[in-house]
């Protein structure tokens, strides 16, 4: 298996006007913090200082706004993670750069990973749409892991399962603030660095070429 990991642009949409962009940003935070079901267009309108009709003018419906939010969030995730994946040397440096980028996003843009958590709760068809948007980047990540296995840099296993495990390890510790608070942590720069090191140590042990199968 060989992969040059060409960079494929993420999903694109026409640029939003100032009011529409503010609405998408406010909705992203609200959907991530409170959930889609618990966020009304009236709430968003009050937060933004506009009328509900203004929001509907730009997005037609709450579902339309949700699609715009998820498209923009997915675009940012794809561009940031893909850039780290493509720019890093093969093997462990590529894994480390991707994990570092994910944790950086969690600190700078916590609503992005919060939206992924909310998408999982919503299920199909919303989750299917997001999976489709992420699929090209996912395919490249799987190819990169497979290349590392073929080159002997990583222990031989199922690349797709490795990617799922890595995704779960990263999002599991950074996308649920309630879990962090339950163990006395807040997601700040210091905590993110400690969690990132823990996840990287876990992945390094799991991918080490000499690790026994099933370890």
Does residue 169 surpass a pLDDT of 50?
Answer: yes
Of 89 and 3, the one with more pLDDT: 89
Whether residue 34 is contained in a domain is answered as no
The answer to whether the CB of 133 falls within 8 A of the CB of 78 is yes
Whether residue 30 is contained in a domain is answered as no
What is the pLDDT at residue 42? 97
CATH of the domain at 189: 1.10.357.10
Q: Which of 5-9, 102-106, 118-122 has the lowest mean pLDDT?
A: 5-9
Which token pair is 181? 């608070």
**pLDDT bucket at 184, cuts 50 / 70 / 90:** confident
Does residue 177 surpass a pLDDT of 60?
Answer: yes
Longest Cα–Cα distance in the chain: 61
Whether residue 5 is contained in a domain is answered as no
Whether residue 4 is contained in a domain is answered as no
CA distance 154 to 184: 35
Q: What is the mean pLDDT of the chain?
A: 85
Whether residue 19 is contained in a domain is answered as no
Q: How far is CA 193 from CA 104, 164, 168, 172, 197, in A?
A: 9, 22, 17, 15, 6
Whether residue 13 is contained in a domain is answered as no
Q: Which of 14-28, 146-160, 172-186 has the lowest mean pLDDT?
A: 172-186
What is the pLDDT at residue 215? 47
Q: How many domains does the chain have?
A: 1
What is the pLDDT at residue 151? 94
Whether residue 35 is contained in a domain is answered as no
Whether residue 199 is contained in a domain is answered as yes
What number of other Cβ atoms are within 10 A of residue 3's Cβ? 15
| Residue 100, domain extent | 64-207
Tens of pLDDT, residue by residue over 190-199, are: 888 888 999 8
Tens of pLDDT, residue by residue over 9-56, are: 444 556 788 999 999 999 999 999 899 999 999 999 999 999 999 999
């Amino acid at each position: 298996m060989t992969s040059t990991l060409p960079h494929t642009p993420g999903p694109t949409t026409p640029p939003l006007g100032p009011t529409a962009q503010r609405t998408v940003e406010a909705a992203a935070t609200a959907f991530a913090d409170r959930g889609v079901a618990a966020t009304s267009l009236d709430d968003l309108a009050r937060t933004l200082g506009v009328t509900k009709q203004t929001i509907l003018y730009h997005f037609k419906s709450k579902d339309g706004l949700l699609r715009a939010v998820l498209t923009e969030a997915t675009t940012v995730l794809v561009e940031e993670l893909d850039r780290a994946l493509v720019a890093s040397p093969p093997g462990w440096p590529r894994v480390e750069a991707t994990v570092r980028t994910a944790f950086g996003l969690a600190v700078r843009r916590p609503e992005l990973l919060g939206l992924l958590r909310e998408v999982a709760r919503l299920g199909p068809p919303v989750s299917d749409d997001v999976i489709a948007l992420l699929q090209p980047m996912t395919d490249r990540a799987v190819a990169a892991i497979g290349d590392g296995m073929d080159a002997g840099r990583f222990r031989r296993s199922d690349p797709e399962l490795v990617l799922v495990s890595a995704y779960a390890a990263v999002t599991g510790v950074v996308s649920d603030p309630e879990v962090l608070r339950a163990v006395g942590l807040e997601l700040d720069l210091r905590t993110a660095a400690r969690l990132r090191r823990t996840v990287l140590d876990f992945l390094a042990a799991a991918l080490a070429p000499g690790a026994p199968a099933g370890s």
